[in-house]
Amino acid sequence: MWLGGLSINISEKKILLIVAATSQLIMQLIANMTVVALPDIAIALNFSAEGLLWVNLIYLMSFVSFSLPFAKIISQYGIKKSTKLSIILLFISIMVSFLSVNEYMFLLSRLLQGLTSASLAISIYVIIVEEFQEHEMGSALGMVSSAGYVGMLMAPSFMGFVIYFADWKFAFLILIPILLVLLYLLNNVTKEWTGEKKPIDNKGSFFYIVIMALFTYGLTELDVYGAIFLVISLIILAIFIKIEKKVEEPILNFNLINNTRYVIGNYAAMVTYFTTTIAITALSFHLQYILNFEEYVVSMILIISPIITIGMSNIGGMLSNKFDPRLISATAMIFLAISMAIYFFVDHIPFEIILVGCAFQGIGNGLFSAPNNKYTLTIVDEEDLADASSILSSNKEFGKILSTGIYTLILSIFFGNQTLGPEDLDYLLVQSSNLMMFICMILSVSAVILLLYSFMKYEKGINKGTVEFFKSIAPKRVLKKIKYLIYLS
């Protein structure tokens, strides 16, 4: 049960929405803007090829590892206090990135950024779901989640422009004033949100962090030691789950894990972040190394998706009020699958078609965010909300880890100890990207199937709005088949 103070007024709701959406935008910028800057970072801080891959991976590992433990702590400490503390620590970590003089200092800053972003992500979703009424929640969640997609898609373009006009380090510095404004806004919020006091599973939290760290390292290493770490993490995970079932307040909320609809919604979110993250990386590599585009040109191309995402996010929210959110999410995943198919043939198609792929990716992300978040976070009980928010955020970032790890393995297989850049190795980069895009297509299609399965199995009665919509666009010759399907359902 959530214990609030005085009833919150309208102006404070607006403040909370601004803070939540802006925080989500900044988190995704921090997480993804280094993609374009990796060559410059390698030169400036003398990164090794293997170390360079950890620039993004250590952020993701930290985020996922601390999300579940923080969900238990934050709800008892106070949501507003946790949000303010997270922003302050994020401020410090950004300053460390800006002042970094070697790879170890920079990787430490990335680890801190992942940790604080994990805390911040949980807080903002809990605030939105708790404070906004049901008829407001769809739009509010749509704005917050869309801000995340925009940040993720816009991050490479943002960094590209900064590199063109200044230096990559200034991209971090630009975020500092925004964080200060967020702190000021939070000081004008009078309400605090505190969860019911429950015992914290410290041992479970520790082992969960260890498992995620071992799994991430093992997933990204092709040698014998990497395989050993991966196997060890899976063995510990099996033991961990068995033990956690006997704990009074486990770190893993089994009520959520046993909820099929919630799991499918999380899987779809994970797949979306899996495909989008690695598509940005692979496309950026192709544009820079194969087509030899400058960073600012790459930025202009990659910004197509976030612009379209912004435009489509409101449409996705409105459609989710009229039709079942799972149908809108499945449609969005179809657009993403098509964009992955276009990227799969990136070396055999005209440049203009690549731009179409960017547009389809933007449509898919824009349509997906609001409906899936609204559905996934509103089918859980109120006392499970913090856990549901942390698991949803973790799954999104886990999708990034999984895609980055798999792509790292693929690059290791194709390139070995060779570095990206020489033209005689271009075909290896193309082949590795093709394989990754094929995996993305398969996962996107699987998400579509599961979302439709969830709708068909758990939806009671007929969604009249959906029926009327398909009637309006269907040819007369198939109307009989549609009526027959409705009759069967």
> Which residue has tokens 């440049």?
351
467, pLDDT greater than 80: no
Q: Which two tokens stand for residue 322?
A: 């009229």
pLDDT reported for residue 201: 73
Domain spans, the chain: 2-200+249-458
- Decide: residue 488, CB within 10 A, 0-12 exposed, 13-18 middle, 19+ buried: exposed
How far apart (Å, rounded) are the C-alpha atoms in residues 158 and 333?
A: 26
How far apart (Å, rounded) are the C-alpha atoms in residues 382 and 374?
A: 14
Core vs surface per residue 471-483: b (16+ CB within 10 A) or e:
eeeeeeeeeeeee
Return the closest-CA partner of residue 281 out of 98, 427, 152.
152
At 76-135, the pLDDT tens digits run: 777 888 888 999 999 999 999 999 988 889 999 999 999 899 888 888 877 877 777 766
474, pLDDT greater than 50: no
7, pLDDT greater than 50: no
pLDDT reported for residue 199: 67
Full-model pTM: 0.73
Contact present, 113 and 94 (Cβ < 8 Å): yes
343, pLDDT greater than 60: yes
Return the closest-CA partner of residue 330 out of 362, 368, 365.
368
Contact present, 115 and 62 (Cβ < 8 Å): yes
Q: Which fold has domain 2-200+249-458?
A: Growth Hormone; Chain: A; (1.20.1250)
Q: Which two tokens stand for residue 49?
A: 């090829």
446, pLDDT greater than 70: yes
pLDDT reported for residue 489: 35
Return the closest-CA partner of residue 126 out of 73, 168, 89.
73
Across the range 225-254, mean pLDDT stands at 82
222, pLDDT greater than 80: no
The chain-wide mean pLDDT, for the chain, equals: 79
Query: Percent helix, strand and coil across the chain, each rounded to 5?
Result: 85, 0, 15
19, pLDDT greater than 50: yes
Percent residues over pLDDT 70 in the chain:
84
How far apart (Å, rounded) are the C-alpha atoms in residues 77 and 95?
A: 26
Across the range 464-481, mean pLDDT stands at 45
User: Of 420 and 95, which is predicted with more confidence?
Assistant: 95
DSSP 394: H
Distances from the Cα of 216 to the Cα of 207, 401, 406, 433, 443, angstroms = 14, 7, 10, 21, 20
